[in-house]
Amino acid sequence: MLRQFVTGITILASCAGPFAAHAQTSMRPVARSEAIKIAATEALTPSPQTATDAGLNAWIKDFRTRALEQGIEGATFDAALRGVTYDAQVIQRDRNQSEFTKTIWDYLDTAVSDLRIENGRKALEKWDETLIGIEAEFNVDKEVIVAIWGLESAYGTFRGSSSVINSLATLAYDARRSEFFEDELINALQILQSGDTTPDQMTGSWAGAMGHTQFMPSSFNKHAVDHDKNGKRNIWGENPVDALASTAAYLKHFGWKKDQPWGVEVQVPKGFDYLSANRSIQKLPSDWAALGVTDVNGNSVKDHGLASVLLPAGAEGAAFLVFSNFEVIEHYNTADAYVIGVGHLSDRIKGAGPIKHIWPREDRALTYDERIELQKRLTSAGFDTIKIDAKMGPLTINAVRGFQQYVGVVPDGYPSLRLLDRLRAL
């Protein structure tokens, strides 16, 4: 998973679910699906689907040997892989993820919509007794558990209907990330062998993410719990209890600190050193306050621990002090926008108000091609991004800051269209 975040955010995750603008859908991306082209000579030659199925079947035969060597029983393997076919749409979606970009404000408009907040509060009330118990057992705030549930499956409404085994087999057969998905397929077979569910009931997203909170099989095997004590770790059914507890166990494992915020919206003073807005620079909020960084009401943020300044839309957008819990949520999805979405939704479910700063909505997201062009032009101008991959990670952000300093503008690391136009004018 890759953190991508600036003018355009691209949320890439190993567990991707249905994505649309509707407030009830999952906040994981999915690529555009295209019709599979069939040759006019189909009647005379094998169809692409038939040829690919033959290749997949041959791969499954070889994979069976490897699976059995890793402890999968033959009966488990045969029952799970029986009837598996190559799914071209899964491959198309995996290929096209990088095309999807949204601005941070467009993303949050959907991720933290009024309807999602309302439904989150209803879910919190409906499952309050259960969530109180989970919160006490794992020492993880119940609101953040519900927020993840809300973004991953719209509180259980969209858990995914694809066969996890079929999707993972297709992706493992494909050469691009075969090792990763073969490992996930082994983990899925281990789940079936343990008796937690059946092949027919093991449904999820096109990329193999499962259940109410979209666990990949490997994460399930490491962190899933049988909270209702019925002998099965069931994250697929209508009852979300095991999924919610498993999410709490996951967050606890990565160091969640109860009652510590993920982040706090702040304001920075005139003359602020924007080079210090860097995740590697951490200070206590009281030390940030001494530099003029306060909450939106002008007060010092409480010393919950070390924090860094995050500017998701550059100097013209909202600013946040982010704490260690921000990093914990990153283990679920590394995109900053996703983490802010989870954190802010949890705050709103708890009763907090909206983000106060006005986003620069006149800006738009850079396209994939524009991000590639930006990196090429930065590198040509002497500000090496190291890679030309359209990923707006730390290396590219540092290159942007270098160019911004060179031309005498605020070095906030925000690669906007205006910045690209300035590079084009060189």
pLDDT digits (tens, 9 = 90+) for 70-110: 999 999 999 999 999 999 999 999 988 765 689 999 999 99
Residue 9 confidence class, pLDDT cut points 50, 70, 90: low
Q: How confident is the model at residue 36 (pLDDT cuts 50, 70, 90)?
A: very low
Task: Report the alpha-carbon angle 167-168-169, nearest 5.
Answer: 90
Residues 56, 217: Cα–Cα separation, whole Å: 21
Residue 161, Cβ density class (10 Å: 0-12 exposed, 13-18 middle, ≥19 buried): exposed
Task: Please count the other Cβ atoms lying within 10 Å of the Cβ belonging to residue 97.
Answer: 18
Give the orientation angle of helix 104-111 with respect to helix 336-350, to 10 degrees: 40
Q: What DSSP state is assigned to residue 196?
A: S
At the top level of CATH, the class of 368-425 is mainly alpha
What pLDDT is attached to residue 100? Answer: 60
% residues pLDDT > 70 (the chain):
87
In angstroms, the CA 277 to CA 282 distance is: 9
Using one digit for the tens of pLDDT, what is the confidence trace for 239-270? 999 999 999 999 999 999 999 999 999 999 99
The domain locations on the chain are: 50-86+162-209, 263-350, 368-425
Q: What is the mean pLDDT of residues 128-147?
A: 99
Strand pairing category for 308-310 and 294-295? unpaired
Helix (H) and strand (E) counts for the chain?
17, 6
C-alpha span between 413 and 275 (Å, rounded): 8
pTM over 0.95, yes/no: no
Alpha helices in 139-265 (DSSP H): 142-153, 164-173, 178-194, 217-223, 241-253
